[in-house]
């Protein structure tokens, strides 16, 4: 059974139809990349999966359970955004442990979980620092750490690297791939960057104007794009 199923999801803002009937299955432990031009509806779709936005129609099913009326905190997922605001007055450790503190997890248990995540992300030497004393890449790792400590079954990343410079983006891509291996988690990753999609994905979902144009492995899309849009976007010769 698929971990996540989207069934005929639509979203309208007033008279504007932004998502126009999306069907999709994401399997356990898959790294799925949503790719498409700016404004095609990627963030809206992610926000609906996360429960931050309700669908106008259709069903969102996680591990066999319909999630439409379930709040974001109870969907078993964690989201990392492009603008990963950290709390400036809190240390790295407190930033990473904050959601657990809200959930009433005792201090020692929080510390243990934060240390475990910090180790995976190579943040151990930085736990006492405040965000302003971190580089962009380190801040991004803290934002990912905040997601890891929640033990989500699904990670949602919405253009998490777009504020980083090119060299750091390449490095973070490698780290995310390693994280995917290490955590054995399902990851859904949004980007408008074709290269990111091609290098990171098990499965690519090409979105265009609120519609899924094609779903397939990077090689399938490259060698067998279903139309000119996909061919143009993925960069294959057809």
- Beta bridge pairs of residue 59: 7
**Residue 28 near residue 186 (C-beta atoms within 8 A):** yes
Sole binder of ligand ADP in the list 18, 115, 134, 177 (CB under 6 A): 18
User: Is 15 among the residues that bind ligand ADP (CB under 6 A)?
Assistant: no
CB atoms within 10 A of CB 70: 14
Sole binder of ligand ADP in the list 3, 43, 191, 194 (CB under 6 A): 43
> What beta strand segments (E) does the chain contain?
4-13, 16-26, 31-35, 57-62, 65-66, 77-80, 154-158, 186-191, 203-208, 211-216
Cβ 2 to ligand ADP, closest distance in Å? Answer: 23
Cβ 209 to ligand ADP, closest distance in Å? Answer: 9
Cβ 38 to ligand ADP, closest distance in Å? Answer: 4
The vertex-64 CA angle with 179 and 45, nearest 5°, equals: 60
Structure tokens at 51: 């429960």
Contact set for ligand ADP, span 178-197 (CB under 6 A): none
Comparing CB distances to ligand ADP, the nearer of 120 and 157 is: 157
User: Is 42 among the residues that bind ligand ADP (CB under 6 A)?
Assistant: yes
**Residue 93 near residue 108 (C-beta atoms within 8 A):** no
Give the three-class secondary structure for 207.
Answer: strand
Comparing CB distances to ligand ADP, the nearer of 40 and 77 is: 40
Cβ 147 to ligand ADP, closest distance in Å? Answer: 19
Tokens 């199923």 map to which residue?
5
Sole binder of ligand ADP in the list 15, 38, 125, 166 (CB under 6 A): 38
**Nearest residue to Mg ion on Cβ basis:** 43
Comparing CB distances to Mg ion, the nearer of 44 and 95 is: 44
Q: Which residues bind ligand ADP (CB under 6 A)?
A: 13, 18, 36, 38-44
């Amino acid at each position: 059974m698929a971990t996540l199923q989207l069934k005929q999801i639509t979203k309208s803002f007033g008279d504007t139809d932004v998502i126009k009937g999306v069907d999709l299955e994401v399997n356990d432990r898959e790294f799925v990349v949503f790719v498409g031009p700016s404004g095609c509806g990627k963030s809206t779709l992610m926000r609906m999966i996360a429960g931050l936005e309700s669908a106008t129609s259709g069903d969102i099913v996680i591990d066999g359970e319909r999630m439409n009326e379930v709040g974001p905190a109870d969907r078993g997922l964690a989201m990392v955004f492009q603008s990963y605001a950290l709390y400036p007055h809190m240390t790295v450790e407190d930033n990473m442990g904050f959601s657990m503190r809200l959930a009433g997890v005792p201090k020692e248990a929080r510390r243990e979980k934060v240390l475990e995540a910090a180790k995976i992300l190579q943040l151990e030497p930085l736990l006492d620092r405040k965000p302003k004393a971190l580089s962009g890449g380190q801040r991004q790792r803290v934002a990912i750490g905040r997601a890891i400590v929640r033990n989500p079954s699904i990670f949602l990343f919405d253009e998490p690297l777009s504020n980083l410079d090119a060299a750091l983006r390449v490095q973070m891509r490698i780290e995310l791939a390693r994280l995917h291996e290490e955590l054995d988690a399902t990851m859904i990753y949004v980007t408008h960057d074709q290269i990111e999609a091609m290098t990171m994905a098990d499965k690519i979902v090409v979105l265009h104007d609120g519609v899924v144009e094609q779903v397939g492995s990077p090689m399938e899309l490259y060698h067998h794009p279903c139309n000119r849009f996909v061919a143009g976007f993925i960069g294959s010769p057809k």
